[in-house]
Amino acid sequence: MKIETSTEHINKNTFNIDLVGTYEMLEMINKEDMKVAEAVKKCIPQIAKAVDIIVRNFMHSGRLLYVGAGTSGRLGVLDASECPPTFNTPPDMVQGIIAGGDRALREAIEGAEDSEEMALEDFNEHDICNNDTIVGISASGNAKYVCKFLQVAKMKKCKTIVITSNANAKMKEFADCFICVETGAEAISGSTRMKAGTAQKMILNMLSTGAMVKIGKTYHNLMIDVKPTNDKLKRRAVIIVSEICGCKEATARNVLESNGYKTKHAVLYLLYGLDFDEADKLLKENQGVLRRIFE
């Protein structure tokens, strides 16, 4: 029987993985993992195109929606859930949609990956419009749930991006931007939670981080829009404000504590003496981009 997807091939490098000692077993896995970053590097032109699509839609009040089943769906939900605390985005700006719903985050839902009906229900539930960007994620590129979601998205004139490890993926016909990261045979045959999943995680990081940088959610490489929801993030906000303003951390902390840990407002107060309302007005006029105000 011919296997069309390389991730399903038997990996000769790890064929005896069940016979070797623990150290050698882990070395085998590590050697395979080392191939992932190089495979992702080859896809940078397509990833760059995808980032620019996402940014254009963000600038027109569009959303970024990751769609996947199983491991791919979980990775999409993970990346989406990290955007609000990291970049202080509204919860609905980046969303992860997984076949089978929230329960599928913790357990396999029988038939969810192959359910076109479920895909239609989820599509309609999210009130998707043509300013939204849909990112379909599937190692095989053939998951029926994701294919149907992308097909309907194209009918609705949405921009679509596909992340897969299969050059012959069915999802390709529904993609405005096709990202095929060829990670090859897995250490454990067909276990795409390994190299293929690692590649997906890396690319999702690049998509969301790249888009956030381009819409001004960072200043240099500082998380200027960080949402300080715990002690660690409050400490990070203090360091960021101190670094930008060239002031003592104690000064930065005092200002942040007085304004509810609004980092950009604190920076504008310390550098220009602007009170909260003045800083807020200036930020709104410049779409929240601190560099525009500085320039």
Predicted pLDDT of residue 5: 75
Confidence of residue 282 (pLDDT cuts 50, 70, 90): very high
Instruction: List the catalytic residue out of 4, 27, 38, 113.
Output: 113
CA angle 57, 63, 68 (to 5 degrees): 115
Instruction: List the catalytic residue out of 82, 116, 243, 278.
Output: 82
- Over range 16-26, report the average pLDDT: 96
Strand order in the sheet with 159-164: 94-98, 64-68, 133-137, 159-164, 177-180
Instruction: Look at residue 1 and tell me whether its pLDDT is greater than 70.
Output: no
- Over range 275-283, report the average pLDDT: 94
Does 113 qualify as catalytic in the annotation?
yes
- Distance CA(213)–CA(191), nearest Å, equals 33
Which tens digit of pLDDT belongs to each residue from 59-98?
A: 999 999 999 999 999 999 999 999 999 999 999 999 999 9
Predicted pLDDT of residue 227: 86
Predicted pLDDT of residue 4: 62
What value does the mean pLDDT of the chain take? 94
Nearest to 40 by CA among 184, 167, 180, 140: 180
Percent of the chain with pLDDT over 90: 88
Which tens digit of pLDDT belongs to each residue from 99-119?
A: 999 999 998 888 889 899 999
Domains, in order of start, for the chain: 8-214 (3.40.50.10490), 231-294 (1.10.8.1080)
Nearest to 12 by CA among 168, 194, 184: 184
- Distance CA(22)–CA(292), nearest Å, equals 54
Predicted pLDDT of residue 19: 96
Exposure of 203 by Cβ count < 10 A (0-12 exposed, 13-18 middle, 19+ buried)? buried
- Distance CA(225)–CA(65), nearest Å, equals 21
3-state secondary structure of 180: strand
Does 295 qualify as catalytic in the annotation?
no
